[in-house]
Amino acid sequence: MFIGAIFSNMIIGLTGTPGTGKTSVSRLLQEHGYNMLYLTDLIKDECLYSEVDEGRDTLVADMDRVFSRVCELVGDDEGVNIIDSHMAHHIADVVIVLRTAPSDLRERLNLRDYSDAKIEENVEAECLDVILVESVEWCQKVYEIDTTGRMAEDVVSDVEEIISGVLSGNDAEVYQKYMPGSFDWSGGIL
């Protein structure tokens, strides 16, 4: 799907496995003046889901309704809109995937009230590049940022560098630096 690629109305998806830092980075981007849309909150607040998967402790989003609602919310906004969600790559055309090495990700998720099974499911998904692969399948332009052992502020600088490159219309150098497929976490599940 594709909402907005004309430069007066650009939608950028910030995606990644849970725990890779999307929301932490998004809050900082909001402080920097970007329009942020927190999709998980929107789905919960407006009941934009078709079922509750109790086994996996998650909501199954109704993507058609989510897509329509996002169009309504940001369709006419000028400037850059950023969607924070592990599903953002199903909506935006330009997508930034946050990545975290498995050991770091497990440490971050251990701080949450998650079951062991849910932690391992997410770590395994990160090892197998699940969100990255989906992003490349769905989106025209994908960038990847490693958050491992870094401060969220440094990741924000990377995101802003990517946005500048995209807005300039000549992102060859930036694309080279943040090209998808740069990290191999597959050793993490061996």
Ligand X SMILES: Nc1ncnc2c1ncn2[C@@H]1O[C@H](COP(=O)(O)OP(=O)(O)OP(=O)(O)O)[C@@H](O)[C@H]1O
Q: By the 8 A CB rule, do 112 and 19 touch?
A: yes
Residue 18: name the closest of 128, 126, 92 by CA.
126
Q: Rounded to an integer, what distance in angstroms lies between the CA atom of residue 125 and that of residue 19?
A: 12
Nearest to ligand X of 108, 141 (CB atom): 108
* Phi and psi at residue 126, to the nearest 5°: -65, -45
- Is 22 a binding residue for ligand X by CB under 6 A? The answer is yes
Contact pick of 3, 12, 25, 92 for ligand X (by CB under 6 A)? 25
Contact pick of 65, 69, 118, 150 for ligand X (by CB under 6 A)? 150
Nearest to ligand X of 10, 29 (CB atom): 29
Nearest to ligand X of 20, 81 (CB atom): 20
Q: By the 8 A CB rule, do 25 and 145 touch?
A: no
- Is 18 a binding residue for ligand X by CB under 6 A? The answer is yes
The alpha carbons of the chain give a radius of gyration, in whole angstroms, of 16
Residue 70: name the closest of 3, 15, 127 by CA.
3
What long-range pairs does 170-179 form, CB within 8 A, spacing at least 24? 171/141, 174/143, 175/141, 175/143, 178/96, 178/143, 178/144, 178/145, 179/143, 179/144
Q: Which of residues 81-100 bind ligand X (CB under 6 A)?
A: 86
Query: Which residues are documented as binding site for ATP?
Result: 19, 21-24, 112
Contact pick of 3, 11, 13, 20 for ligand X (by CB under 6 A)? 20
Residue nearest to ligand X (CB): 21
- Is 13 a binding residue for ligand X by CB under 6 A? The answer is no
- Is 15 a binding residue for ligand X by CB under 6 A? The answer is no
Distance in Å, CB of 140 to ligand X, minimum = 23
List interacting residues with ligand X (CB under 6 A). 16, 18-25, 86, 108, 147, 150-152, 155
